[in-house]
Amino acid sequence: MNKPLTTVRSFIRLLALTALLFAATFRADVVNAAAEGARPNIVFILADDLGYGDLACYGRQDIKTPNLDRLARQGVRFTNHYANGPECSPTRTALLTGRYQQWVGGLECAIGTGNVGRYDDAIRLRETHDLGLPTEEQTIVRLLKDAGYATAITGKWHLGYEPKFAPNLHGFDYTFYCIGGGMDYFYYLDTVAGYNLFQDGRPIHREGYFTDLMTDEAIAYIKQPRDKPFFLYVPYTCPHAPFQGPDDLLDDPLPLDSPLWNQSKSPPEVYIAMIEHMDKRIGDLLRTLDDEGIAQNTVVIFASDNGGTRSARNAPLSGHKGSTLEGGIRVPAMARWPGVIPAGTVCDQPCITFDFTASMARIGGATPAADKPLEGIDILQHVAEAKTDFDRTLYWRKPRGQTIWMGVRQGALKFVARRKGDSYNEHLYDLASDVGEQHDLKDARPNDLARLKKLYLTWEQTVRQNRRGRPE
């Protein structure tokens, strides 16, 4: 009597199973097609000093970020994503090289405004005019260019003030950038009155709010006709100090003693205006991909270069930019790849900036040198193929002056240490139950503390390279 109903239910289950298998096969086919030559465009967007909780999709309720929220809904939002460094130059080095920045030497700390070295190796390199990312270093830019991609940067560089470190010498076909860290958003002057706006290694004159200028350049680049896929790197300066919104143009450059240069004390309304305007312009960029009919064949990745300053919202994390506490290194990140990454995905896999480098290399068909293998995992493939999350070991080291911040995460356990002169403090946290790092376990779990500390010291001894100065 129930046989027809049972047959119908079996048929429905078969259809559902077939649909699931088809979807999985389709995603795998698209992923494999990228590796076999049907390669997508790649747009990598990087915010500057954006805190983990500074976007609406990460819990902030007083900032409206509809475009980034939509990007996250259309693809994957990462909850356990880390920057390679707690400051910008180190993370940018790791992003471009796909390896820990310590291998390069001199770039474990952000280059100081006006080309200042901030720790021993960087100071020595500055004295010989060698502080920056050497052009002989392997980068994802050069790898993708050699694989047939058109390449461009519009935004912040901060990987060397010397002309020999200019991004056009690193494989970028088109460059429009500010050369250093923080600068006046309208007059492009930094705190030592240095001019920062460049194109292809030469200073240029423009007028406008920098967030707008660099976005307009990115949009114009996307609209250019070409017969090859492109890699577009869009590193914003927002919301890095000085704190200036799009409507804050003055008759003269911001005074060098203005409190708006203080990274820790942004007027809240200005900080919000800066982020909301960046989101608006990112929306314009994404809309251009739609208008040009290439959104379906473009991978878009968004992240921050380090944790937020004291002006940011890093909740529920502790610490801020510059430290290896979670608030200094855990950052918002998301990626969209239509037809490959299922919409609405949330990924809890611990990952780090140079994981995106590994993903970009694979989908772009780029092959790194045998002696410089990429150190990240292919995080986009991990998401696209719905792989099981796994424990990883990740490392951080940031020196500045006489202070060194250290960190290693293995599984849910994290070792954090800070040395300042003769003072030394170390801690152990279980992030699974204490993401805010409020309960130090170093006394309760001394064996774990010793194990992670040994891991860190072995890694530090292995990767740290004190690069020798090279003549001009």
Point out the residues that are catalytic.
88, 158
Contacts (Cβ under 8 Å, ≥6 apart) of 343: 73, 74, 75
Cis peptide leading into 242, omega within 30 of 0? yes
Tokens of 209: 């709010």
In angstroms, what is the C-alpha Rg of the chain? 23
Distance CA 239, CA 276 (A): 10
Tokens of 258: 């203005």
> Can you tell me whether residue 341 is helix, strand or coil?
coil
> Can you tell me whether residue 299 is helix, strand or coil?
strand
CA dihedral of 166, 225, 45, 284, whole degrees rounded to 10: 130
End-to-end CA distance of the chain: 90
Distance CA 317, CA 52 (A): 8
Q: What backbone torsions phi and psi does residue 124 show, to the nearest 5 degrees? A: -65, -40
Rounded to 5°, the CA angle 394-400-405 comes to 35
- Bridging pattern class, strands 351-352 and 345-347: unpaired
Distance CA 371, CA 418 (A): 32
Are 244 and 185 in contact by the 8 Å Cβ rule? The answer is yes
The backbone region for 421, taken as left when phi is positive above 0, alpha when psi lies in -120 to 50, beta otherwise, is left
Are 100 and 395 in contact by the 8 Å Cβ rule? The answer is yes
Are 88 and 181 in contact by the 8 Å Cβ rule? The answer is yes
CA pseudo-torsion sign 283, 158, 170, 186 = positive
Distance CA 130, CA 164 (A): 9
